[in-house]
Amino acid sequence: MAKALRVFSYIILSVLALILILFIWFYLSRAIPIWQAKSKIGAPAATLYADGLTFRDLNKNGILDPYEDSRLPVEIRVEDLLSQMTLEEKAGLMYHTFIFPGKEGQIAGVLNPMNLLPVESALFNKHMHFFNLYMIPEGKLAAVWLNQIQELAERTRLGIPVTISSDPRHTAMSEGAAVAVHTPAFSHWTEPIGLAAIGDTAFARRFGEIAAREYRAIGIHTALHPMVDLATEPRWGRISGTFGEDAELSSALGAAYIRGFQGDTLSATSVSTMTKHFPGGGPQKDGWDAHFEYGKDQAYPGNNFHHHLIPFVAAIEAGTAQMMPYYGVPAGQTSEDVAFGFNRDILTTLLRNEMGFEGIVCTDWNIINPLKIFGFELMQPRAFGVEHMSPLERTQKAIEAGVDQFGGESSPEQIVQLVNNGLLSETRIDESVRRLLTLKFLLGLFDNPYVDVDRVDELLATDEAVRLGYESQLRSQVLLTNQIIDGKPLLPLENGSLKLYVEGHNPTVAALFGDIVDNPDDADVIILNINPPFDPGYGRLAGIQIFREGRLYYTADELEPVLALLEKKPAIVTTYLERPAILTEIAEKAGAILVNFGATDQAVFDIIFGNFNPVGKLPFDMPSSWESVLDQMEDVPFALENPLFRFGHGLGF
């Protein structure tokens, strides 16, 4: 017994010692880089005066350098700054990764695939000046935080300002949106697929203008959108971020969206757009997404590769500043089966030479290095087709393919090593850095990267923005069916005069429209919101359901209670149509089906009770059976046999 206790004590002490060692290692791995970085923090930029104008002395030399002179052409400013940069500073600009705030909005850190990297180290040790936001503080606090980042950037050797990017942040959905981030302080709109259901290019441009104003108000400069991928594969889990299945509609809306964010030319009020996912992420084999190894292949059984380029041609014509290739491998379409981010045929021959794109090519996130915490690999990079290569070799191949910047990565030392070893020329690095610096100058960041904290509240969620956002939620809803019951269409219902049994909607909202009952047998009408179907075992990163993938049909266990409820009383079925779900059995029994593409319960009930006449039209075909989904071709639009509802379908009252 005593021996067992001693062994147990040794085990406990060993575990505690290991924890202590890991804690010390983690602390030193952060503390040492921070100490090194802080030793390099210089003075803020002084003010220079010339011809009655003021300028910022970003390199602190007491002289008005050409790159500091806002009167000069951008090309001259870029070349002057480029001539002053070290190789390490150039390499740092070619990396673009996540940044997170502290709990109270103070400076925290960035997510580095090699470890957790403090902001100070990112700026002063790695010379990184592009960061991607995910979580942010609310409103004014976000602006304070991002101003603090710019203040730090001003103290770097050359005072190069930071460019901040973001995924979509204007969704009306507080949960359930695929990649969009619900931001309470912003105005709230339908998803992009909802803009397709509206089909109004002027309205899409107005959304872009409002979203850009709200982005710039807190210090965001780049939109990691739009997605102009064609939703030709109904199983794909990212359809809600697209403009649907039709190439002509997607092209028109994508171009309007870009012009809304950027304006007709880039300026200090613009938000640059990073259009994705070149050359079209829609035709995923069997619908599986390329974020995951099982979804790495893109399929073109209909030999329809070039059809998916149509919206990207429109995006280039609209002036999109940046382009993001997807993770997938275009099997059989290029000289080598490697992912788009490593594929010279795609990025140089096609995008640059044939399509004439002159902007920035930034990879999708994490294609080079494995994600490591405490030295342990948590996730392999999405380096499809080049898995056998080292991170250094992948970096070289991507740059030689035509990449200007690496998303989600923070290892500029790899570029420095490649140049020093003679494997890449500094002239090639200069090509990418010119594009990156040009964007910063065009966005006005060298002249004033700061936001006016006192104006944030008046610029966010203005009355017009809130009104138009809510209008988008109303206009995008599609009434699929509306049966005749007792001699008249079931919808619209009469406000305030009915007993309602409600499932899946907020009961507080529902109570504004009628008397809520607990038993469906006591109701005049049933209103039932059903969740979209998917395979929960797929589309997960770090245990979080990022995308809903797989089946579009409801299982018997899911369907039976719904159909049983529909037998009881006249029933309205509502759902968020993130993908073209199979609603055949439900359509046979429901009194009405109303679908949305991102709407609050208030907006849904406003349609049901006739406060707004539905005008939305389906942005894709909806299948009648799973067999038809399995038989269609991933790359061909409108390839479903006998769809239940056609593209463009939508009823009114």
521 part of the active site: no
Catalytic member of 364, 404, 601, 606? 364
* pLDDT band at residue 379 using 50, 70 and 90 as cut-offs: confident
Q: What is the DSSP string of 514-569?
A: SEE-SSGGG-SEEEEEEPPP--TTSSEETTEE-S--S--SPPHHHHHHHHHHHTTS
Domains along the chain? 73-459 (3.20.20.300), 472-631 (3.40.50.1700)
* pLDDT band at residue 390 using 50, 70 and 90 as cut-offs: very high
* pLDDT band at residue 261 using 50, 70 and 90 as cut-offs: very high
Judge contact between 263 and 205, C-beta under 8 A: no
Q: Which residues 6+ apart lie within 8 Å of 573 measured at CB?
A: 528, 529, 530, 562, 566, 583, 586, 590, 592, 593, 594
The DSSP secondary-structure symbol of 239 reads: G
Q: What is the mean pLDDT of residues 271-282?
A: 98
Judge contact between 346 and 334, C-beta under 8 A: yes
Q: What is the mean pLDDT of residues 309-325?
A: 98
Length of the chain: 653
- Which tens digits make up the pLDDT trace of 417-431? 999 999 999 999 999
- β-partners of residue 498 are none
Kindly report the pTM of this predicted structure: 0.93
Mean pLDDT of all residues in the chain?
93
What tokens appear for 425 in the block? 């020329």
Task: Output the pLDDT for position 187.
Answer: 97
Burial annotation 51-78 (CB, 10 A radius, 16+ → b, else e): eeeebbbbbbeeebbbbbbbeeebeebb
